[in-house]
Amino acid sequence: MNQSVTLESLQLHFPSAMIGRSLVIHANCFDWLQAVPENTLHAMVTDPPYGLKEYEYEQIAKRNKGEGGIWRIPPSFDGHERSPLPRFTALNAKERGILKDFFIEWGRMALRALRPGAHIFLASSTFLSQMVFSAIVESGLEFRGEVIRLVQTLRGGDRPKNAEQEYPNVASLPRGSYEPWGLFRKPIPLGMRVSDCLREYGTGGLRRLPDGNPFSDVIPSERTPKKERAIADHPSLKPQSFLRQVVYAALPLGTGILADPFMGSGSTIAAAEALGLCSVGVERHNAYYHMSLEVIPKLSGLEHPIQGHHRRLFS
Ligand SMILES: C[S@@+](CC[C@H](N)C(=O)[O-])C[C@H]1O[C@@H](n2cnc3c(N)ncnc32)[C@H](O)[C@@H]1O
């Protein structure tokens, strides 16, 4: 067991920077995960590229030029201009096969780098979660359920296309009101109980809320606030109010190293930083890696992004 692995040592041979207790790395996470010593990481919280295509260099360039590609502007039903969203439904059977293989391979790499009993929180979408989660299970990780982020999305709810007048009382899909996050665990070694795993590896369970109540798998959330979007111009930015709750739960003893292998602008790392936890983020795209260096100190410095009951608990 790698009791002695330090956060700094996880930069390996990749370009990187330390920000507070966080390490950010510019790399393809497949290369990085392969180089991480076995049984090292205590948890992962990550938001992968679901459609695979949308974060290809060519597709990001098209989005930046407003040329579309897989990125489409959702219909503006209330007069507000929408940001482009990736069209996951655009994946054909072959691309779905590629997506499945991608997650099986990624899951195997994550499995090797994680400590026994370590959890992964994996953001997904209602369309693809079933396939992505099965692929992760095929890689050897245990399925431990889902965390439902309650948030009004812009997907679904439309009347049948070109027959809106004819079928005014029909919606072709429900209006999306949640985002599923898969919860997985690296199997606990045979004969060990959660308590043994906590003692041996510092993993195995989830951290309770600061008031002693268990972490719940339904989290009332919000769209990412304007204030955060003004700090981080990333198309898939997640809100601090949600991430801070998940990151808190992911390290059962409040110690260890949490990783986000698809870091984007660094919102997960900022959440860990805000809670005083050690984390490592990996991003392949040069512009997003550099963006994270600016974004992490700003997002982590935001006070009280958590609303209601949880705000009192986490502030
Ligand atoms: C869905 S976004 C995550 C955004 C993040 N939730 C945020 O709030 O900024 C996925 C990110 O993974 C990056 N990415 C895609 N493939 C990667 C890979 N193989 N290794 C590392 N990063 C990758 C993309 O460039 C993109 O920034």
Say if ligand 1 is within 6 A of residue 262 CB.
yes
- pLDDT grade for 84, boundaries at 50, 70 and 90: low
Q: Is residue 65 part of a domain?
A: no
Within 10 angstroms of residue 176's Cβ, the number of other Cβ atoms is: 16
Instruction: List Cα–Cα distances, 308 to 255, 305, 313, in angstroms.
Output: 26, 10, 9
DSSP string over 189-241: PTT--HHHHHHHHS-SS-PPPTTSPPPPSEEE--SPPHHHHHH---TTPPPHH
Distance CA 114, CA 127 (A): 27
Q: Is residue 56 part of a domain?
A: no
pLDDT at 214 over 80: yes
Please give the distance, rounded to the nearest whole angstrom, from the Cα atom of residue 261 to the centre of ligand 1: 8
Say if ligand 1 is within 6 A of residue 310 CB.
no
What is the Cα Rg of the chain in Å? 19
Say if ligand 1 is within 6 A of residue 30 CB.
yes
Ligand 1 atom with least separation from CA of 262? 12
- In which domain, by residue range, is 173 found? 8-51+91-314
Percentage of residues in the chain having pLDDT higher than 90: 77
Residues 6+ apart with CB under 8 A from 10: 23, 25, 36, 40, 257, 280
Ligand 1 atom with least separation from CA of 264? 27
Ligand 1 atom with least separation from CA of 28? 20
Q: Is residue 206 part of a domain?
A: yes
pLDDT at 315 over 70: no
Kindly report, residue by residue over 222-269, the tens digit of the pLDDT: 999 999 999 999 999 999 999 999 999 999 999 999 999 999 999 999
Q: pTM of the predicted model, to two decimals?
A: 0.89
The count of domains in the chain is 1
Say if ligand 1 is within 6 A of residue 285 CB.
yes
- Closest by alpha carbon to 274, among 248, 250, 313, 256? 248
pLDDT value of residue 2: 52
Q: Is residue 67 part of a domain?
A: no
Q: Is residue 62 part of a domain?
A: no
Say if ligand 1 is within 6 A of residue 315 CB.
no
Q: Is residue 70 part of a domain?
A: no
Q: Is residue 135 part of a domain?
A: yes
pLDDT value of residue 91: 74
Among 55, 83, 88, 279, name the best residue to mutate to test ligand 1's pocket (greatest count of ligand atoms within 8 A of Cβ).
Answer: 55
Please give the distance, rounded to the nearest whole angstrom, from the Cα atom of residue 191 to the centre of ligand 1: 37
pLDDT at 143 over 70: yes
Provide the CA 123 distance to its chain's centre, in angstroms: 5
Q: What is the CATH number of the domain that holds 139?
A: 3.40.50.150
Q: Is residue 260 part of a domain?
A: yes
- pLDDT grade for 77, boundaries at 50, 70 and 90: very low
pLDDT at 52 over 60: no
What does pLDDT average to over the chain? 90
Kindly report, residue by residue over 227-238, the tens digit of the pLDDT: 999 999 999 999
Burial class (CB in 10 A: 0-12, 13-18, 19+), 77: exposed
pLDDT value of residue 1: 54
Across the range 52-67, mean pLDDT stands at 67
Burial class (CB in 10 A: 0-12, 13-18, 19+), 257: buried
